[in-house]
A and B are shown apart, each in its own frame.
Chain A
Amino acid sequence: DGGITQSPKYLFRKEGQNVTLSCEQNLNHDAMYWYRQDPGQGLRLIYYSQIVNDFQKGDIAEGYSVSREKKESFPLTVTSAQKNPTAFYLCASKPEERSPLHFGNGTRLTVT
């Protein structure tokens, strides 16, 4: 079955460490997205990529970095510069601009 795989489901890191969240999709979608969700809040866009080797900053890109070397993969690195990294991170994709988003099951990152 096609879908989006985010791993791991739970991730724990010490403050000051960079951490990379994985997102893989086998839906053959061109566009991929990273959202952050804090408790009781909506989803905020971190970065998005509409095609391989290209990506754009979203609303809250500071302290994050991404790469898009393959169509299937869009990893997100949470750097030590991100002041409040503890959150639920959701990866999504869609085949074309007006299509709905397909989401992965998320990674819950806790930084202490």
Chain B
Amino acid sequence: GQSLEQPSEVTAVEGAIVQINCTYQTSGFYGLSWYQQHDGGAPTFLSYNALDGLEETGRFSSFLSRSDSYGYLLLQELQMKDSASYFCAVRGLGSARQLTFGSGTQLTVLP
């Protein structure tokens, strides 16, 4: 089976940097993805790591360490609009090749 763990809540102030961690267990591994969801809305894709290292997309970066079964999403220069839920997701092998999502981290950005 597959399982992911991420913190349920994170709070930070505008302009700060925040890191959202994700640890996973999976029978196979095809990559770690991150999605953002504003309250009551559609999740939107943020980033994907198939290999170890850092992927940067503007203010957002995502990191993966396959040997540690660990990744994180780094948000820089936080803005109020970044207040949302952030989900990590993994794709495994066989019948589990569909995405399995973590339970999400609610990020609150304070003024």
A residues near B (Cβ < 8 Å) are 33, 35, 40-45, 48, 56, 58-59, 88, 90, 97-98, 100-106, 108
Separation of A105 and B43 alpha carbons in the complex (Å): 8
Report B68 CB to chain A, min CB distance, Å. Answer: 21
What residues on B are CB-neighbors of A45 within 8 Å?
98-100
Separation of A98 and B41 alpha carbons in the complex (Å): 23
Report B3 CB to chain A, min CB distance, Å. Answer: 11
B residues near A (Cβ < 8 Å) are 4, 8, 30-31, 33, 35, 40-45, 48, 87, 95, 97-104, 106
Separation of A101 and B100 alpha carbons in the complex (Å): 12
Partner of B42, one of A90, A97, A98, A108: A90
Q: Across the A-B interface, give the 10 residue pairs with the lowest CB-CB distance, nearest first.
A: A100-B45, A42-B101, A103-B42, A42-B103, A43-B101, A105-B42, A103-B43, A41-B103, A42-B104, A42-B102
Given contact pairs A40-B103, A42-B104, A48 touches B98 in the complex (Cβ within 8 A)? yes
What residues on A are CB-neighbors of B44 within 8 Å?
103
What residues on B are CB-neighbors of A108 within 8 Å?
40
What residues on A are CB-neighbors of B104 within 8 Å?
40-42
Q: List 10 A-B contacts (CB under 8 A).
A: A33-B98, A40-B106, A42-B4, A43-B43, A90-B42, A98-B31, A101-B43, A103-B43, A105-B42, A108-B40
Separation of A56 and B95 alpha carbons in the complex (Å): 9
Report B60 CB to chain A, min CB distance, Å. Answer: 14
Query: Other than the known A45-B100, A100-B33, what 9 A-B pairs have Cβ atoms closer than 8 Å?
Result: A33-B98, A40-B8, A42-B102, A43-B43, A45-B98, A101-B43, A101-B99, A102-B45, A105-B41
Separation of A109 and B90 alpha carbons in the complex (Å): 27
What residues on A are CB-neighbors of B42 within 8 Å?
90, 103-106
Report B83 CB to chain A, min CB distance, Å. Answer: 15
